Amino acid sequence: MKLLILGGTVFLGRHIVEVALAHNDEVTLFNRGQQNANLYPDVEKLRGDRDGGLDALKGRTWDAVVDTSGYVPRLVDDSARLLADATDHYTFLSSISVYKDFRATRIREEAAVDTLADDTTEAITGETYGPLKALCEQAAERAMPGRVLCVRPGLIVGPHDPTDRFTYWPVRVARGGTVLAPPTPEAPVQFIDVRDLARWVLSMVEQKKTGVYNATGPAELLTFGHFLEACQRTTGSDATGTWASAQFLAEQQVTPWMHLPLWVPEAKWGMLQADITKATVEGLTFRPLAETVYDTLMWAHSRPNDHEWRAGLSPEREAEVLAAWRHRESKAE
């Protein structure tokens, strides 16, 4: 299969490349060459910019295109329209964040997507990210009707994850001791190992599947308590969780998702309980959680010691918050 990947050198993109190369696909990458430019020295690389710099794509044909780097609908529209006569199949990597109402659980693909008051905005923020991805989906489908596979992953985790949102927990639990945890061990957790997602996406591309699919995991409901237990068993540490209240965490300015990654307020639990039946029917499977935890931990340990964490609490800040929680609890007795 001749495969064009828009992006291809950061996290999901690089894992898709690795799966494709293992399948002996003929891979071409299109990107600006600004991140991990030396990866895959034997792979064809076309340089350009999605914003007005698509000339390198002209006059070429591919069996399929995988778009891992589309965030702005105008730019997705530009690339999809240019490639409409160059390929039979276009895969757009979207996000679970497209949905409008996360109070509902078991969100299915036909649920309403979020919208923007000003759909011309191109500023990517926490509030606009989901609606912009929804508009990107629509742009791709307009350009190539009936030929688009739209994948809506949940949180993608594993080796080379630049966000640290999952990585924080195996590393923190491995350190042992008392771990500051979200308000309840019953909070849902949902994520997918990047390697499982990459393998499934390429399988869907090979079959020229189209339509919209939620793609996250695991197969069964996972709670935060069970997740931390899995981290503890896999790392062999003596870590124990302290489940601080939401009110206390707010007072301490400890925020969901970033300071305590994978945790969202109860009003948004639907974000971590999406229905993935449609994808599993089409062959989406999941490796053991322990494997994801272990491999992520080993990769994290391979990074420089001065790595600047993008999510989670520093050891010093966590210790301060835990001390404040113990003081609060002692006064309440």
The CATH number linked to 77 is 3.40.50.720
* Whether pLDDT at 152 is above 90: yes
Residue 197 lies in a domain: no
* Whether pLDDT at 322 is above 70: yes
Rg of the chain over all Cα atoms, to the nearest angstrom: 21
Type and span of the H or E element at 230: helix 224-235
Nearest to 249 by CA among 191, 184, 309, 190: 184
Are 174 and 315 within one domain?
yes
Are 257 and 108 within one domain?
no
3-class SS of residue 304: coil
Q: What is the pLDDT of residues 208-267, one digit of tens each?
A: 999 999 999 999 999 999 999 999 999 999 999 999 999 999 999 999 999 999 999 999
Are 62 and 89 within one domain?
yes
Are 130 and 263 within one domain?
no
Task: Report the relative pairing of strands 90-93 and 155-157 from DSSP bridges.
Answer: unpaired
Q: What is the pLDDT of residues 71-100, one digit of tens each?
A: 999 999 999 999 999 999 999 999 999 999
Residue range 297-324: average pLDDT?
97
* Whether pLDDT at 333 is above 80: no
Are 110 and 58 within one domain?
yes
Are 68 and 115 within one domain?
yes
* Whether pLDDT at 272 is above 70: yes
CA angle 109–110–115, rounded 5-degree value: 95
Residue 140 lies in a domain: yes
Q: What is the mean pLDDT of the chain?
A: 97
* Whether pLDDT at 319 is above 70: yes
d(CA 283, CA 67): 21
Both structure tokens of 117: 């008051």
Domain extent, residue 101, equals: 2-153
Residues pairing with 277 in the sheet? none
Q: Which residue shows structure tokens 């229905």?
A: 275
Q: Are 86 and 61 in contact (CB under 8 A)?
A: yes
Are 69 and 177 within one domain?
no
Are 148 and 177 within one domain?
no
Q: Where is the domain boundary, 125, 153, 181?
A: 153
b/e sequence 103-118, b meaning 16+ C-beta within 10 Å: eeeebebebebbeeee
Residue 233 lies in a domain: yes
d(CA 261, CA 259): 6
Type and span of the H or E element at 203: helix 194-206
Residue 163 lies in a domain: no
Q: What is the pLDDT of residues 50-67, one digit of tens each?
A: 999 999 999 999 999 999
Are 138 and 185 within one domain?
no
Are 258 and 292 within one domain?
yes
Residue 210 lies in a domain: no
Are 136 and 177 within one domain?
no
Are 117 and 255 within one domain?
no
**Ordered strands of the 64-67 beta sheet:** 44-47, 26-31, 2-6, 64-67, 90-93, 148-153, 211-215
In the chain, how many domains are there?
2
pTM of structure: 0.97
